[in-house]
Amino acid sequence: MSQSKSSRREALRAQQEAEVRAAKRKKVLSIVAGVVVIVVAAVAVFVGVDRHRSAQQAQSAVTGSQVVPPNADPKTGIYTVNADAAKSGVPTLTIYEDYQCPNCKNAENAFGPSIRQLASSGDIKLQYWTLTFLDGSQGDNSYRAAVAAASAAMVGKLESYHKTIYDNQPEEGVGFTDDQLRNTFAKDAGITGSDLTKFQKYYDTRATSDFVKNAAAKGLAEGSRLDNQFGTPFFTVNGKPYTGWQSITNPTPAALLTSIKSAA
């Protein structure tokens, strides 16, 4: 009798242990299945992002022989807007900018007319250093705008195209369309006839791509060296950080020139 009871107890214990083992296996399998689902989802997201990135790269494929705008330094990527007009010994104003930067647009709206007047009269040497650091998950809008501006510089229309980009800067995160950059903005900037054909070819083939990328990299490195809180717009006078422009409430050419000369 006692052996029978003992056998039943052993059988019950074995059954309970088997049920515990089965429950553990079920739990482990559930966890593994969940991990597999997460991994599959992550792979799907990665593939989707990679495909999106590949599509963007395809749109920006470089197919043309690389060129450097005639008014730019091939080593740094700095444009000198008025090299022929600038008088001897005048201060050099260099503007670091990104065409997607809202504050760059604000600075252009407020100071652009006076800056261009001082450049036109030769009272300053005006330079632009174009960056593209605002590109990222939202596309390559800064890069394409910089390529378009460089293409305009190839046909002698940098200043007018530069102004047109800022006049039509979209809301942050929206970006420029290719139709705007190659057609609408070119027309507004006064690029016509054979110059338009050349401009569009430079843009479509990304012939200024190497120049733009070099300028962006060198400009970001130099700006960060000059100011550890570097951001655009960033002004220098004769290579030194210039913040005096931010204190000018009425940016007439005379007021701006006085401030620039004091910083030289």
Residue 37 lies in a domain: yes
**pLDDT classification of 262: cutoffs 50, 70, 90:** very high
Phi/psi for 91 (5° steps) reads -70, 150
Domain enclosing residue 21, as ranges? 1-59
Closest CA to 98 of 109, 112, 84, 108: 108
pLDDT value at position 136?
A: 81
pLDDT range class, residue 15, cuts 50, 70, 90: low
Q: How many residues does the chain have?
A: 264
Residue 28: pLDDT above 60? no
Provide the number of structural domains found in the chain: 2
pLDDT of residue 5: 47
Residue 184 lies in a domain: yes
Same domain, 5 and 83: no
Q: Which residues 6+ apart lie within 8 Å of 20 measured at CB?
A: none
**What's the average model confidence in pLDDT over 99-128?**
97
pLDDT digits (tens, 9 = 90+) for 176-235: 999 999 999 999 999 999 999 999 999 999 999 999 999 999 999 999 999 999 999 999
Domain match, 142 and 220 both: yes
* Residue 98, pLDDT above cutoff 50: yes
Residue 33 has pLDDT above 50, yes or no: no
pLDDT average, residue stretch 29-43: 36
User: 121-155: per-residue pLDDT in tens?
Assistant: 999 999 999 999 999 866 899 999 999 999 999 99
74 prior amide bond cis, ω within 30 = no
Task: Print burial letters for 169-194: b (CB count within 10 Å at least 16), e (below 16).
Answer: beeeeebbeeebbbeebbebbebeee
Question: What mean pLDDT is reported for the chain?
Answer: 84
Tell me, what CATH number does 100's domain have? Answer: 3.40.30.10
**Where are any strands of DSSP class E within 155-256?**
234-237, 240-241
- CA distance linking residue 202 with residue 38, whole number of Å: 45
Q: What is the pLDDT of residues 172-186, one digit of tens each?
A: 778 999 999 999 999
Question: Is there a single domain that holds both residue 52 and residue 89?
Answer: no
Are 2 and 129 in a shared domain? no
Shared domain for 231 and 121, answered yes or no, is: yes
45 & 149 share domain: no
Looking at the domain assignment, is residue 67 inside a domain? Answer: no
Burial of 56 (0-12, 13-18, 19+ CB in 10 A): middle
